[in-house]
A and B are shown apart, each in its own frame.
Chain A
């Protein structure tokens, strides 16, 4: 079953077209990696899926993006609800300058949960899911800004999980992290894929092979090829994909 279906998606910023006729299906509870050289539209693509691009005044699009069969760009779509269902982890860890607890409770509070016990339980559960609980359980009231980069990124994942999303978008979540932190995040992705549909943008092809079941290769705004990760890296159909994964450009 597909969680997300994208049909004939074109995205423009002002006059320049950034994504060209994208068609892709993202199956439920799998990890899909998006690879491609810088500026190829991977990030723009995932930001179209949770409508973060709406924040950019020059953004426009045509084509359709469906989440569980519902067109997310239909006029009745509640963007707040959509972003609750489709969480996002950013390239640079961006915890709020608040306590660790408040960071994870943030989504719950903005969506109107007032019950302190329920919030505390959900915060603990989310931090455990993000493999961070043991490191922070004694200092939940400390500022999140005092955590290491890797811890901050896992906190951002916990913050996203707390909303109980269906999909988690990750925009190069390890590019600002050291190798040990990266391993921890990758382990976490393996664990999370049982419960969530994950789309991860990565520059690191080894990472794509380690964490994802499917991989899509983007180039200059076009989706060149999508396949099972094992297949795409061993036997790419398109010459451009082969050139990229063998390091001939990019």
Chain B
């Protein structure tokens, strides 16, 4: 039985309206992105020059550059990546290839989802209590990097898990059928096929890590000098930006810092996507 509602719109017209709504949603999304990036760049780029990038801040950042902050950001993000990538990918491989569906896998998955939804300031407090104080790492690049590693972990894990479980089982069968062991199958067939997705997950995790102020503010210290060892304190770009803006030191330089941060994130994302595309074309032949 069908309901004969009076037809207000012809199917053709309702199709047109829906098309318009979808196109608008897409356009608005892109416009917001362009607006934010454009605004930051317009406000920030005037102060960005080689000197700004390659010199130390003077007078708490009122003048001078942000070189130590760029180094701090790269440093903490690298540590986060080095720690969280093997953990996240390893956990994903375990779940998909070894564990099978069980209570434990459900618990791990639930744990990852919960980790992903914890506010970053809470991670920050945890970092202070655990890494800085309990483990005695002090305010350091290492403490900050470890907090970011825990933060990036669920992203890397979740994206890797989805990717690895979407690798067709026919690849695995083909490999076993040729007498490969489980590990050979994972290492030689499954992971290479999953690399584009896994790298996307790593990039998502790392861009989240490099953009964090709240998570690192209690762990990394607030030094204005270039960190040499990972036990030195540092001040990543977002934290510097936060301090410059909230303490009214220099809004101009805050925008400059933001512009450098945005360019850094964009560059990493664009280069990674380019490499992923290239790899994908190579293995899939199109």
Contact = CB atoms under 8 A, between A and B. Distances in A.
A14 interface: no
Contacts of A94: 168, 170-171, 173-174
Interface residues on B, range: 20 to 34
A88 B285 CA distance: 24
A83 B182 CA distance: 13
B176 interface: yes
B180 interface: yes
B111 to A, nearest CB: 25
Contacts of B179: 79-84, 107, 110-111, 163
A84 B178 contact: yes
B181 interface: yes
Interface residues of A, number: 34
Given A52-B177, A55-B176, A160-B178, A97 B170 contact: no
A39 to B, nearest CB: 19
A106 B285 contact: no
Nearest to B282: A143
Interface in A137-181: 142-147, 156, 159-160, 163
Residue of B177, B180, B184, B282 with most partner-chain A CB within 10 A: B177
A94 B181 CA distance: 18
A90 B178 contact: no
B177 A92 contact: no
- Chain A to chain B: the 5 pairs with minimum beta-carbon distance, closest first: A146-B285, A143-B285, A94-B170, A84-B179, A83-B179
Given A96-B189, A107-B178, A144-B285, 19 more contacts: A50-B177, A80-B181, A83-B176, A90-B173, A90-B174, A94-B170, A94-B173, A94-B174, A95-B174, A96-B193, A97-B193, A98-B192, A106-B175, A106-B180, A110-B180, A143-B286, A145-B285, A145-B286, A159-B174
27 contacts: A52-B173, A52-B177, A57-B100, A80-B179, A83-B179, A84-B178, A88-B177, A90-B174, A94-B174, A95-B174, A96-B171, A96-B189, A96-B193, A97-B193, A97-B283, A107-B178, A107-B180, A110-B184, A142-B285, A143-B284, A143-B285, A143-B286, A145-B284, A146-B284, A146-B285, A159-B174, A160-B178
